[in-house]
Structure formats: C-alpha cells, structure tokens
Amino acid sequence: MELLIPLDSQSKKSLYEQIYGHICREIREGSLTAGERLPSTRMLAEHLKVSRSTTQMAYDQLLAEGYIEARPYRGYFVSQLDGLFDAIPESRQQMRREEPEGEGYLVDFSPRGIDLDSFPYNVWRKISRSTLVDDNREMFHAGSPQGEPGLREAIRGYLHTARGVKCSVEQIIVGAGNEYLLMLLAQILGSQRRIAMENPTYRQAYLVFCSLGYPVFPTEMDENGMNPEQLKASGADVAYVMPSHQFPTGIVMPVGRRQELLRWAEDGPDRYLIEDDYDSEFRYRGKPVPALQGMDRSGRVIYLGTFSKCIAPAIRVSYMVLPPQLVERYQAQAGFYASTVSRIDQNILYQFLSQGYFERHLNRMRAIYKAKHDALLEAASPLETAFQIRGEYAGIHILLTSREGRREEELISLAAEAGVKVYGLSRCDIGAKREMETSTVILGYASLTESQIRMGAELLTSCWI
C-alpha cells in the first residue's frame, strides 16, 4: 500500500510532524482502517524523499500514542482505536500548542518568534559530538550547582566585553530559563517583598511574580522609562526593569534615569533592581547601551540574561548575576539546589562560546535582523502619515500607534481580514488601560523573511489607510 503524503518544506512543522499528522488524520477519519499494513519506514522514506530517521520518528510517535502497532518480522499495522481516546485529544492538543499562534495567516508579526534559519546547526552538531567523546564520561556525573565553571567564565567574559557587566564567576548562576531563575531568586529575596514593574511590561515575568505570591505594582513610564516618583510612592522594595530596550515600548533608559533608579535602591536598606537584559544584543544605530549593572557601585542590581532569544528557545539556558551580598544569601539559603541544566548542554554551550561561534553567530544575526528591521521600516513608510512608529533601531519588534487614536481591536481585525496577524499592546498591560495602549499594535519581524515583511506591510497599508 502506498501513502501519498503532501509535504510542505516551507511549513513551520517539521517533516516528521507532517507525516505523523497526516497518518493520524487518515486513521481517525477512517481512511486507514484497523489491521491495515503501513509501508516500511525505509519504503516510505524513499517514496517521500526524506531521511529514514524522519519516517522512523513519525512511526515511533504513532506507536507511542497507540495509533499503530509493530508486529515482529511483519511490519507496522493500524491499531484498533478503542480505549485510545485519552491519548488522542492530548496529542491533538499538544500539536495545536506547538503551532505558532498565527497559523492560517499569510504573515504573522509575532513578537515572540526568532529567526532559526540562520542557526549554525552543523557547528552545534559538531560540538555536541565532541562533547560526547568517549573519554568525557564525567559529563554524566552531577556537576556544580551554580553551573560549570568554564561556562560561567565564558559568560563573565561575554558580559564584561559586550555589556559592561562587572562581576566575578562566583556571582553567576546558570539555570533552566529566566522563570526558574526568578523562582530561585524568590527564595533568596524572601517572601516579604513588594515588586514594582514597568507598565506595560513582559507579561511572563509578571505572571511569575504573581504565582510566587508577590504583590506587584504596575508603574507608569514617561519617555525615559519607569517613573521614579511613582516607584517611591509604590512602597516597593524590588523594581523589575528593562533599561536597554524596554519590552514592549522599546524605550532606552537614559543615564540620568538610571542614576535616579540606583539612588532609589541605595535609599533603602535592602532594595534591589532586577535588570532583564533580554534582547540587548540587537542594536542597529548608535553605540550599544551598556547594562545598568555596570553603573551599580553598591550591589543593588540583579542582572538577568538568556540564550533563548540569541541562540534558540529550546536551549533552556539563562543566567543571573547576583550582587556579592546576595551570593552569600544564595549559598546559605539555596546553595543546595542542584543545577537545572544538563552538564552536557552546559559544555556544548561552553564550547560554542569559548570557541568564538557565539560572537560570530551574534554578528550574523545582528546583520540579518537589521536587514529585516530596515525592510519593515521602508515598507511601512506609507503608514507614517497615519501611524507613529516607535521602538525602532533595536530589538526584534516595533510599535505602531494610530495618530487618529483608532482602537487596537479595529486595527487587529482589519489586519486579520487581510491575512496579517498583529498584536495589541494591551496584551502587555498589567494595570489600568491607558490611551496609548488602546491604539497601538506590536509588529515582531524576527521569524519572517524580508519578502514576507514587505508583503505584510503592504497588506497593512492597504487595509489601514
């Protein structure tokens, strides 16, 4: 029996997911019936011109979920579906969850996407292999709780030269994502804290603080960032800020405001600033803005960085730089927590950094994102009569605010009719809505090609102007 499976090499779904999904549907819709025999993975691979491992992965998942069964020496057969009905909705749901929000749109300006086409897969594979060489077995023994010394030294070197962060390796803690590091930080700072956040802000961090049980005080911003008067008034003792490129507004906090915030921290006995430096690698005009942490003379800044944005979301590695007095608290109160990052992965990343691949990758991505950024600004220029563009020249998204105060909902639905997904600024709102939010949309461009960006901008012009 032959399977005709239409494969789309442009799809965000991998080939194996497409093959898996197709056979799933065929079975659920009854086009493939119980007891029917499937082609061998080898035959199917030749037939579809894909690698054997691809068809094997698709069959493995079908087997794991019970859609098909393997009979020794005979091959793969469609299963009786009775009693499988727990598994099916789950797997459907999972598949949905893994689809990008914008599925079905011509162009999705998701602010969460990143460009993975330019990821140096071959280098990564090469390093992975060399990390698993035979005389390297200690990789499988438990490592240091704070993270591998070599990796932390490589991170220290990068932060020092690229971000002006001043720290020793003892101050760096490597962890499986910013959310985990915030959980860990909560155990260092204690439960009696009041957190101030810029409004609008990075919603994920807001959700973490809430689920950790902290009261969060949304704080207004002016054109220089978080308003220090409101911060004082809030009675907070911890402020979470993104000075280099605030998400989502794109505001870059000038030195004066940074000093005001540092003074606020120094005015209290145990006050801290959490600096989330999530996408500072990407700046397309002027000198790079050094991190706030580098200005800190009194140990009040907790610095957070991640490799999810600049390498890949699936690389679950972030890092936190603690001021010296918090390092002591960490060792006393949370030093017993084992590292959450596999030692093998830490060493792959260490090689990637210390052999210079990371710097090369960043330079490459900076050029690629700048080209996309420029393409978007150029293609969006017809919109400028009706929209103010903000947050440009840095990061991987811009903001469009309607000069006529048209509502975000209207802009989103008009765009949707034209097949373009844009995102309302209000989704980043953690306090009362403000006028600015109600007429601003976010356009992320990292995961789009330049031609998709141009098409998207043209479609938006045609439906908004």
List the interface residues with a second copy, window 367-406 (CB under 8 A): none
Is 12 near a second copy (CB under 8 A)? yes
Among 41, 44, 54, 444, binds a second copy (CB under 8 A): 54
Among 219, 227, 340, 439, binds a second copy (CB under 8 A): 340
**Residue 88 neighbours by CB under 8 Å, 6+ apart:** 28, 65, 81
Beta partners for residue 421, in sequence order: 108
Stretch of 129-137, 158-166, 367-375, 430-438 contacting a second copy, by CB under 8 A: 129-137
The beta-strand segments (E) located in 286-386 are 301-306, 318-321
Q: How far is the CB of 339 from a second copy (least distance, A)?
A: 7
When the beta carbons of 219 and 339 are compared against a second copy, the nearer one is 339
Q: How far is the CB of 317 from a second copy (least distance, A)?
A: 8
Beta partners for residue 420, in sequence order: 107
Region 212-231 residues binding a second copy, contact defined as CB under 8 A: 212-213
Region 137-166 residues binding a second copy, contact defined as CB under 8 A: 137-145, 149-150, 153-154, 157
Stretch of 23-31, 266-274, 314-322, 402-410 contacting a second copy, by CB under 8 A: 314-322
d(CA 344, CA 365): 25
Is 51 near a second copy (CB under 8 A)? yes
Region 183-212 residues binding a second copy, contact defined as CB under 8 A: 183, 187, 191, 204, 207-208, 211-212
Region 55-74 residues binding a second copy, contact defined as CB under 8 A: 57, 60-61, 63-65
Least Cα distance to 195 among 184, 181, 207 occurs for: 207
Among 77, 119, 284, 357, binds a second copy (CB under 8 A): 119
CB count within 10 Å of CB 407 equals 13
Q: Which residue has the tokens 């949707």?
A: 416
Among 29, 73, 336, 385, binds a second copy (CB under 8 A): 336
Q: How far is the CB of 204 from a second copy (least distance, A)?
A: 7
Among 36, 69, 179, 270, binds a second copy (CB under 8 A): 179
d(CA 205, CA 194): 14
Residue 207 one-letter amino acid:
L
When the beta carbons of 45 and 289 are compared against a second copy, the nearer one is 45
d(CA 133, CA 127): 10
Grouping H, G, I as helix, E, B as strand and the rest as coil, residue 183 is helix
The DSSP call for residue 79 is P
When the beta carbons of 313 and 382 are compared against a second copy, the nearer one is 313
Stretch of 26-34, 179-187, 358-366, 397-405 contacting a second copy, by CB under 8 A: 179-187
**Residue 11 neighbours by CB under 8 Å, 6+ apart:** 18
CB count within 10 Å of CB 182 equals 25
* Gyration radius (Cα) of the chain, Å: 25
Is 36 near a second copy (CB under 8 A)? no
d(CA 261, CA 258): 5
d(CA 269, CA 267): 7
Is 91 near a second copy (CB under 8 A)? yes
Is 1 near a second copy (CB under 8 A)? no
d(CA 78, CA 67): 6
